[in-house]
Chain A
Amino acid sequence: MTAITVVDLPPPKPASYLDEGHTVWSWLTTTDHKRIGILFALSITVFFFIAGVAIGLVRLELLSPQGLFLTDDEYNRLFTIHGITMVWFFLVPSIPTTLGNFLLPLMIGARDLAFPRLNLMSWYLFTIGGIFTIYTLWAGGVDTGWTFYTPFSTLYSNGHVIAAAFGVFVTGFSSIATGLNFIVTTHMLRAPGMTWFRLPLMVWAIYAVSLVMVLATPVLAMSLLLVMAERLLGVPIFNPNNGGDPLLFQHLFWFYSHPAVYIMILPAMGVVSEVITCFARRRVFGYAGMVFALLAIAVIGFMVWGHHMFVSGQSPYASLVFSFLSFIVAVPSAIKTFNWTATLYRGHISFESPMLYALGFIGLFTVGGLTGLFLASVPIDIQAHDTYFVIAHFHFIMVGGSVTAYFAGLHYWWPKITGRMYLETWARVAAIFTFFGFMMTFMPQYIMGWLGMPRRYHHYADVFQIWHVMSTGGAGILAIAYVLPLIYLPLSLIRGARAPANPWQATGLEWQTPSPPPKENFEHTPIVTTGPYEYHPAAEPGLAEMQRPHRTQTEDA
């Protein structure tokens, strides 16, 4: 037998990771962190809009004190699915699994995450868990609120608690896998010269959040497992008739869920730090302070869970301690806010859409954070607990803060991810609509909350109607602001101009490779010789010179 040697020309190298195969199968089996990031983005977008439509119905229903078209049970199911989906299937994974997944290796000069197949598994777990939870909606819903308080959830609820809890449980493993992957990557795969204190703040934020994910999520998994065991097998764990402690579950739940709120804000802080320095063309003010603030929030965040239980009947002395620690954990947030503001000082500020989103973030986060201090004060919280004041507090931080930051990041890195530019005018309109729509939705909620409007109320006293109407109106504007990007961003894939490698003249390794990047991220492993934010080197003597031996100081002053 003679061997026939066919001399093929080597196939042309694919231009970017997007051209490494166009079939659905090639996406579903990919281990490329960039593609997995996009898979996550698609999943969370679907979940976001499902949860958004659920609360849209709630807001419409609340136009009238007696309700318009929902029964009590339907109402309870809608806000529950809204809370569960928004928290676990949108906001917790939002920035880390999409932008983080895409950018972390690029930012530290690695070829991929440490465990690419684990990364893909994480997406499958997440999506299966999500579909399972959404399915419970059709199968009859859950009515426990996102908090699953016992003994209601274990003994009295008439919803599909097991299915929903199981979905969240499975997703927890996705969180853990992602967090683990990020930690190992950050430790082991930094490019030569990329020392810890040359890491961009985004990487620090992702790293801090991974620590919290890895340490907090297992406790949630266990608490949900106990709820499922009690409901499925009938074993009394929280059952008060057997002496079960009604507060035990709350302690376990908040031990996870307070750190979880920082899981939702830390990556947002990372994004905003990147965007603000870039568009102010200034080194971020107080880099070291920013890093320690991130870590401090992550660590102290584990010690304040009891502030959700001031009126639960826990010891009043414990309440005071938790109150005190809640004030302490706010200090690093304050540092960050001031440092962002100071970064603007003497900058060359321009107002592209990512910057508009980021500035909106600062404003809304400040308001939301300050009302967090109201709630951290025991006597104030006694009045405000479980009213719309709390609802407004956390929407200001989570929607006004984190979601806005997610959009800032999405716009900022969109050219890098897709290689296309979107329509800037529309993006600015969306950013401005977000800010004002948001204010109109949630400002009235502070007022009615303090006056005594309880949350999770289908029927309410007539006197609050005016505030509810305003809030629903704002939600309409907000819906427009969120639907707009859903139109112009995909449109840019077809019609948008080609993006250059570095459209914003930003520093950072991710901008030094083509847009969109090739599969292996960098032609050659980059060698890092400078700090992360060399925007305006001449203006910062001292530190800057030490970190920047290879550049001459000819830039503008």
Chain B
Amino acid sequence: MSEASTALREPWPDLARQREGVTFGIWIFLATEVLFFGGLFLGYSVYRTLYTEAFREAAKETEIFFGSINTVVLLTSSMTMTVAVRAADHGYRRLTLICLWVTLLLGLGFLTGKGFEYNDDLTKGLFPGPGFPLPQPQEQIFWAFYWVMTGVHAIHLSVGIGVVAVVAVQLQRTVIKLESGTLTAVGLYWHFVDLIWITLVPLIYLVDRP
């Protein structure tokens, strides 16, 4: 069996169109993701305009230390992901695999950092509810969004890590081929998750920090 025939699936006439189709599909999927997070950011913006003062106060409690480290980690992972995709395009198997595994480790690193940050937040009692330490009730709204936004992002990242792991293993076992286009799609998704984080950073950590 030739390489091309295994990568090709029903109902596509040829590999080039199939790759085009998969890429098109993933772009549409990313458009839905933009709208998904759009709803969230919209809610956040409404409240931030309504309660500028409270949001400023509440954001002072966030851990910019973890925020910065995690940003660097995630940006690096995007870089290694780009290298992986390019390497696959040129047929460098080993480099592709190494970069995928590094990307995966960086993703896990991000989640670990986030875990420490959550832990700190929780010890400070910053989960909205009775006995919340900050005085104004609107500050709880900020923290509600903090948990939901970072939580949803973390779920997306975990999915990404899972997918990268599966793809890496399948590549290793040559279940899928370098040129099948899967990697391009995974790469786009990974960059998207990164992009969401870049959007979140100013909303969470930089509200009143010049």
Complex contact flag A–B (Cβ < 8 Å): yes
Q: How many angstroms between the C-alpha atoms of A87 and B42 in the bound complex? A: 26
Contact B25 A112 (CB under 8 A): no
Q: Is the CB of B50 within 8 A of A219?
A: no
Chain A contacts for B118, CB-based, 8 A: none
Neighbour of A188 across the interface among B24, B147, B148, B152, CB < 8 A:
B24
Interface residue from A214, A229, A243 paired with B50 (Cβ < 8 Å): A243
Q: Does A225 contact B (CB under 8 A)?
A: yes
Binds B, one of A244-252, A323-331, A346-354: A244-252
Q: CB < 8 Å: which of B10, B46, B51, B127 contacts A112?
A: B10
A-B residue pairs, 10 tightest by C-beta: A222-B39, A235-B144, A218-B36, A111-B11, A112-B11, A218-B35, A242-B137, A243-B138, A218-B32, A219-B39
For residue B28, which residue of chain A has the nearest CB?
A180
Enumerate chain A residues within 8 angstroms of B11, measured Cβ to Cβ: 105, 110-114, 116, 189
Can you list 13 A-B contacts with CB-CB less than 8 angstroms, sorted by A residue number? A110-B11, A111-B10, A112-B11, A184-B28, A187-B24, A188-B17, A189-B21, A214-B31, A214-B32, A215-B35, A217-B32, A226-B40, A237-B145
Q: How far is the CB of B152 from chain A (nearest CB, A)?
A: 7
**CB-CB contacts of B45-73 with A at 8 A, as 1s and 0s?**
01100110010000000000000000000
Chain B residue nearest in CB terms to A237: B144
Do A219 and B38 touch across chains, with their CB atoms under 8 A apart?
yes
- Please pick, from A180, A216, A245, the residue contacting B25 in the complex, using a CB distance under 8 A: A180
A242 touches B141 (CB 8 A): yes
Does A183 lie within 8 Å of B137, measured CB to CB?
Answer: no
Determine whether B197 belongs to the interface, using a CB cutoff of 8 Å to chain A.
no
CB within 8 Å for A115 and B141 given contacts A222-B40, A243-B51:
no
- Cβ of A489 within 8 Å of any chain B Cβ, yes or no, is no
Residue-wise, chain A 176-204 has the 8 Å CB interface mask toward B (1 for contact) of 10001101100111000000000000000
In chain B, positions 5-25 with a C-beta closer than 8 Å to chain A are 10-12, 17, 20-21, 24-25
Chain A interface residue number, banded: 35 or more
Contact of A252 among B20, B43, B129 (CB under 8 A): B43
Docked pose: A188 CA to B12 CA in angstroms: 9
A contact set with B: CB distance below 8 Å: 31, 105, 110-116, 176, 180-181, 183-184, 187-189, 214-219, 221-223, 225-226, 229-230, 233-237, 241-245, 248, 252, 255
Secondary structure type dominating chain B contacts: helix
Complex CA gap A115/B46 in Å reads: 38
Q: Does B140 contact A (CB under 8 A)?
A: yes
Contact of B33 with A by CB under 8 A: yes
Q: Report Cα–Cα, A214/B10, bound state, in Å.
A: 24
Which chain A residues lie closer than 8 Å to B25 at the CB level? 114-115, 180-181, 184
Q: Verify if B143 is at the interface (C-beta below 8 Å from A).
A: yes
Given A219-B38, A229-B148, are A235 and B28 also a contact pair (CB < 8 Å)? Answer: no
Least distance between B53 CB and chain A CB atoms (Å) = 11
CB pair B152–A180 under 8 Å, yes or no, is: no
Q: How far is the CA of A236 from the CA of B54 in the complex (A)?
A: 14
Q: Which residues of A contact B28 (CB under 8 A)?
A: 180, 183-184, 214
User: What is the bound-complex CA distance between A115 and B51, given in angstroms?
Assistant: 46
A192 to B36, CA, bound (A): 36
Bound-state CA distance A113–B9 (Å) is: 11
Question: In the bound complex, what is the Cα–Cα distance between A184 and B11 (angstroms)?
Answer: 12
Most chain A beta carbons < 10 A, residue from B29, B39, B51, B141: B39
**Complex Cα spacing A362 to B176, Å:** 51
Instruction: Using CB atoms and an 8 Å cutoff, list the residues of chain B in contact with chain A.
Output: 10-12, 17, 20-21, 24-25, 28-29, 31-33, 35-40, 42-43, 46-47, 50-51, 54, 127-129, 137-138, 140-141, 143-145, 147-148, 152
- In the complex, chain B residues whose CB is within 8 Å of the CB of A181: 25
Chain A, Cβ-Cβ closest to B129 = A234
Q: Once the chains are docked, how many angstroms separate the CA of A184 from the CA of B12?
A: 12
CA distance A221 to B144 in the complex (A): 18
Q: Are B10 and A116 in contact (CB under 8 A)?
A: yes
- Asked if residues A184 and B33 are in contact (CB atoms below 8 Å), the reply is no
CB distance from A174 to the nearest CB of B (A): 13
> Pick the contact of B141 from A188, A215, A237, A252 — CB < 8 Å?
A237
Closest Cβ neighbor of A33 among chain B residues: B11
Q: Are B144 and A188 in contact (CB under 8 A)?
A: no
A contact patch SS? helix
A226/B36 contact (C-beta < 8 A), A112-B11, A242-B141, A244-B141 known: no
Select B29's contact among A180, A219, A235, beta carbons within 8 Å. A180
Inter-subunit contact B42/A252 (CB<8 Å): yes
Q: Specify which chain A residues have a CB less than 8 angstroms from the CB of B144 in the assembled complex.
A: 229-230, 235-237
In whole Å, how far is B155's beta carbon from the nearest beta carbon of chain A?
10
Q: Which residues of B contact A223 (CB under 8 A)?
A: 39
> Do A215 and B140 touch (CB < 8 A)?
no
Q: Nearest residue in A to B29 (C-beta to C-beta)?
A: A180
A226 to B129, CA, bound (A): 16
Inside 8 A of A187's CB, which chain B residues have their CB?
24
Q: Contacts A215-B35, A218-B35 known; A243 to B147 CB distance under 8 Å?
A: no
Which chain B residue has the least Cβ–Cβ distance from A240? Answer: B137
Known contacts A111-B10, A222-B40; A245/B50 CB under 8 A = yes
Q: Is B43 a contact of A226 with CB atoms below 8 Å?
A: yes
Name the distance in Å between B166's Cβ and chain A's nearest Cβ.
Answer: 15
**Which residues of B are found within 8 Å of A215, using beta-carbon distances?**
31-32, 35
When chains A and B are docked, how far (Å) is the Cα of A223 from the Cα of B24?
A: 27
B20 touches A188 (CB 8 A): yes
User: In the complex, A197 Cα to B48 Cα: how many Å?
Assistant: 47
Could you say which residues of chain B place their CB within 8 Å of the CB of A176? Answer: 29, 32
Q: Contact at B24–A236, with CB atoms within 8 Å?
A: no
Name A215's closest neighbour in chain B (CB-CB).
B35
Docked pose: A187 CA to B46 CA in angstroms: 37
How many angstroms between the C-alpha atoms of A216 and B12 in the bound complex? 29
Chain B: minimal CB distance from A186 (Å): 11
Q: Given A113-B11, A225-B152, are A235 and B143 neighbors across the interface (CB < 8 Å)?
A: yes
| Least CB distance, B163 to chain A, in whole angstroms | 15
Q: Closest CB-CB distance, A316 to chain B, in whole Å?
A: 19
B residues near A248, Cβ cutoff 8 Å: 43, 46
Which among B17, B20, B127, B148 is the interface contact of A226 at CB below 8 angstroms?
A: B148
**Given known A180-B28, A242-B140, A243-B50, contact A234–B128 (CB-CB < 8 A):** yes
Evaluate contact between B35 and A243: CB separation under 8 angstroms: no
**Bound: A234/B130 CA distance, A:** 10
A184 to B26, CA, bound (A): 10
CB distance from B52 to the nearest CB of A (A): 12
- Would A114 and B141 count as touching, CB distance under 8 A? no
- 12 additional contacts (CB under 8 A) given A114-B12, A183-B28: A111-B10, A180-B29, A180-B32, A184-B21, A188-B20, A219-B38, A225-B148, A226-B43, A235-B140, A236-B141, A237-B144, A243-B47
- Distance in angstroms from A114 CB to nearest chain B CB is 5
